Amino acid sequence: MTATLTPNVTLQQRTTAIAQRLGIRKFDLGGAHVDEVSVQVQQGEPKQVKASQRSGITVRVWNAAGRLGVTSTTQLDDQGLETALGMALEASEFGVDEHIPDFSPLATAPLAELSLPEAQPLAPAKMLLDHLIAAEQELLGRHPAIASVPYNGLSQRCTERFYLNSDGANRQQRTTTTTLYLYSKTEEAGRKPRSAGAMRLSADLEQLDINGCIEEVADKTIRHLDYAPIPSGQYPVLFSPQAFLSLLNAFSNLFNAQNILDRQSLSSPDSLHQAIAAPLLTIYDDARHPHNIGQPLFDGEGTPTRRIPLIEAGCLTGLYHSAGTAVRFGCQPTGHANLGAKVTVSGYFYDVLPGQTTAAQYRRDRADGVVWIDELHALHAGVKALQGSFSLPFDGWLLRNGDAISIESATVAGDIRTLLHQILYLAPEPAFTPYGMCPEVWVAPLAITGE
């Protein structure tokens, strides 16, 4: 039997009975089952319709000597569980004998009560196609130069997550997420193609801001039509919320305790409580932020999620921790663990606090000689995460006395540590992005390579 999660009490009882039969006293299971429907269209016709079911379950067993064995399975019937537990028990004979992972001390702690929307049934693929075809046609009709929407997608995902262990931990959560993505392309005689993209997320199809996504793509695309080259040089930079958070996320090893222990981070244990940014920057990671779609109540080890300070007034004050890294740092796990052959940690949803005042010299409609970066590209290739440097192509505009002139082609380069210290201003209004909440961010001059 593949894939679907049984009621969790029954699963825990069956797993416990099988473990006792195999002589296993200490074990845990964690994973998820995902149902997803996604569609793409091209010129008013279906391009791709896909439905999938997939599961990923990690099984961990500690033997009598305290060593750990790990295996994975997609089978949750008795035979599948017995095979996975037996294999993990065999693997434990070869487990490491230092820094052995253990249960999270918070795996049985009460979960905070949240007023989360109930998970909704997935919409039929035909309904998703109708919405996406209508969105494509609406976008194509916004301007004669918009010739196609080559990249687009509308999908719904239902995720059932669970965690249980032999000490009585028993977590389960079911959420749905709806995602829309539109990316336009223009064609004009004698002109280079221009493009723009936008994304919207919601808990269900009914709440999805389709019109807002169309408006954003159309507005950006039209503003990119009248483009010009930019001379290379040093320019003050205004990062859009999405651009700033995508760059911050590319250097998330700054906040990753496991990366620090593995010496794969720009931070070190001594970096805590040290200034790593301008004093006006404060960042939290908040899995349960009201704008975070599908707020996870617990992590892969069963630890409840919560709001974690990362940077406060420019100082590094928090890290992402699993149960194992928390022991080595002498603190509590933070709810950021991902269960696997090796426990890893990662963030959920940034919350960058906005500025407190509106400063006239940092108003976009008055800016002169400022490069406004809307979206960064090629982050997988242009970021050297362990050196801190980046060199990235971007979409954006050069602001001249408040007028935005689309930049034909350019890259921005710098060092993330220097950039964080050279933040000049945070706008007072944060905006929602797929990475989190963030205001516009103004920074001191960076190297822009244009013509």
Q: Tell me, what CATH number does 135's domain have? A: 3.30.2290.10
* In a shared domain, residues 283 and 138: no
Beta bridge partners of 41: 46
Q: What are the distances in angstroms from CA 206 to CA 124, 128, 139, 177, 296?
A: 13, 11, 20, 11, 21
Q: Are 318 and 308 in contact (CB under 8 A)?
A: yes
Provide the domain count of the chain. Answer: 3
Amino acid symbol at 145: A
Phi, psi of 214 (to 5 degrees): -60, -45
- Position 428 scores a pLDDT of 95
- Any domain includes 14: no
Same domain as 287, residue 430: no
Residue type, 417: R
Say whether both 359 and 242 belong to one domain: yes
Same domain, 198 and 261: no
Based on the fold, state whether residues 273 and 197 are members of the same structural domain: no
Q: Is residue 80 part of a domain?
A: no
Q: Is residue 362 part of a domain?
A: yes
CB proximity list for 113: less than 8 A, separation 6 or greater:
none
The per-residue pLDDT for 4 is 46
- Count other C-beta atoms under 10 Å from residue 87's C-beta: 17
pLDDT at 66: 95
Beta strands in 209-322 (DSSP E): 227-228, 233-239, 283-286, 307-312, 315-316
Can you give the pLDDT at residue 116?
Answer: 67
Residues 263 and 397 occupy one common structural domain: no
Q: Return the structure tokens found at 227.
A: 């483009």
Answer whether residue 294 is part of any domain. yes
Last-in-domain residue among 331, 350, 369: 350
Residues 257 and 237 in one domain: no
Based on the fold, state whether residues 441 and 359 are members of the same structural domain: yes
242 & 260 share domain: no
Q: Is residue 278 included in any domain, yes or no? A: yes
What is the reported pLDDT for 334? 98
Is 312 found in the same domain as 287? yes
- Tell me whether residue 83 is in a domain: no
Q: How far apart are CA 300 and CA 112, in angstroms?
A: 17
Domain check: are 337 and 200 in the same one?
no
Q: Of 299, 323, 350, at which residue does a domain stop?
A: 350
Q: What share of the chain is helix, strand, coil (3-state, %, to 5)?
A: 25, 40, 40
Describe the crossing of helices 78-92 and 8-21 by its angle, rounded to 10 degrees.
50
Tell me whether residue 99 is in a domain.
no
User: Do 241 and 312 share a domain, yes or no?
Assistant: no
> In this structure, what token pair is assigned to residue 125?
């693929």
Residues of the domain holding 187: 125-164+171-225
pTM of the predicted structure, to 2 decimals: 0.94
Domain assignment present for residue 106? The answer is no
Low-confidence ranges of the chain (pLDDT < 50): 1-6
Check residue 225 and give its pLDDT: 96
Residues 6+ apart with CB under 8 A from 329: 257, 269, 319, 321
- The pLDDT score that the predictor gives to residue 261 is 97
